[in-house]
Amino acid sequence: MKFLVCGIGSIGLRHLRNLKLLGYEDIIVYSTGKSVMLGIKEELEGLKIFNSLEEALKQKPDVCMIANPTSLHIETAIKAAKYGSHLYIEKPLSDTLDDLDLLKNIVDEKRLITFITYQFRYNPHIIKLKEIFESPQEKYGKPLYATTEWSEYLPDWHPWEDYKQGYSARKDLGGGVLLTQIHPLNYLSYIFGDIVDVKINKIATKALDIEVDDIADLLINFKNGMSGHIHIDFLQKPRVHTMKIVTSKGRFEWDYHKNSLEFIDMNNHIELFENEGFERNDMFIDMLKDFINCVELNKSTRFNLDEAIKELKLVQNY
């Protein structure tokens, strides 16, 4: 299987490293040469690098991994799909609804496998919660509402670059906290099913001297009758990534950074769910392995283009 990696920023480089870890060697790279990642020359040593996407696609890669800025995702995906490449697209799918139908038509016509990369669907604690609520158990009760918070100080993300120049901070590249940190919306729908309505309040405080939204709050209605709330921001330090799920029998508390999940019942008894040995890159490795398996077996992925379009319309039409 031949892979084309488009974009060698931090996430593109992670995908490249993980391909190598899994033993794949037939890898080519499309790069504009603008990456400021440290040690990039050493990482790319021995690989064929193209500064033209068309020339790279003429090499007929089986898979195109799209890890360039959000505003370029659809344009790149359409070109790759026309060449018949399966698509592994970094989240979010796009920053607009433009040309989504065109991409979908090409993907459907050529019967391509698509995946938008939401690694938290491969977090063992998230998987456990999905299992619990897919098969209602008397022990944990009926879920009533869920609330999540994900706050990280943007200047700390990539210390090697000026954070104001990164895609997350630039409107022209599809940045802003709502799209950059869309993960909680995705893993909540993974756990609890379809979302029927989202109300969004987003603000550009300019506290970091950037023009994009740096705070967003989402109020969610699920098809199953639950409600949910998400808070995300670029401003808080130290970082926070937590979730609370209240049920008719108690509550679940999850802390991603502490790698902890527990259920506290009405009598204050605590049940711990282990996740021993977990490392962040495990999610990315499992995600990549799953995608490759889906390509080999010609089956739908855990989050495909159709689902991503539906999700994007939720947050773009609020």
The predicted-structure confidence for 43-69, as pLDDT tens digits, reads as follows 899 999 999 999 999 999 999 999 999
The residue among 318 and 89 whose pLDDT is bigger is 89
Query: What is the percent of the chain where pLDDT is above 70?
Result: 99
pLDDT band at 318 (very low <50, low <70, confident <90, very high): low
Amino acid 135: pLDDT: 84
R_g of the chain computed on alpha carbons: 20
pLDDT band at 40 (very low <50, low <70, confident <90, very high): confident
Average pLDDT of the segment spanning 112-125: 98
Distance CA 111, CA 63 (A): 13
* All domains of the chain in start order, with CATH: 3-118 (3.40.50.720), 124-277 (3.30.360.10)
Distance CA 189, CA 195 (A): 6
pTM surpassing 0.85? yes
Average pLDDT of the segment spanning 231-235: 98
At 14, which helix (H) or strand (E)? helix 10-21
Taking phi over 0 as left and psi of -120 to 50 as alpha, with beta for the rest, 50 belongs to beta
Minimal CA–CA distance to 76: which of 89, 61, 62? Answer: 89
Amino acid 38: pLDDT: 65
- Contact assessment for residue 273 and residue 125, using Cβ atoms and an 8 Å cutoff: yes
pLDDT band at 251 (very low <50, low <70, confident <90, very high): very high
Torsion of CA 38, 287, 124, 260, to 10 degrees: 20
Q: Where are the beta strands (DSSP E) in 205-290?
A: 215-222, 227-233, 240-247, 250-255, 260-265, 270-272
Distance CA 172, CA 175 (A): 7
**Does pLDDT of 141 surpass 90?**
yes
Average pLDDT of the segment spanning 171-187: 97
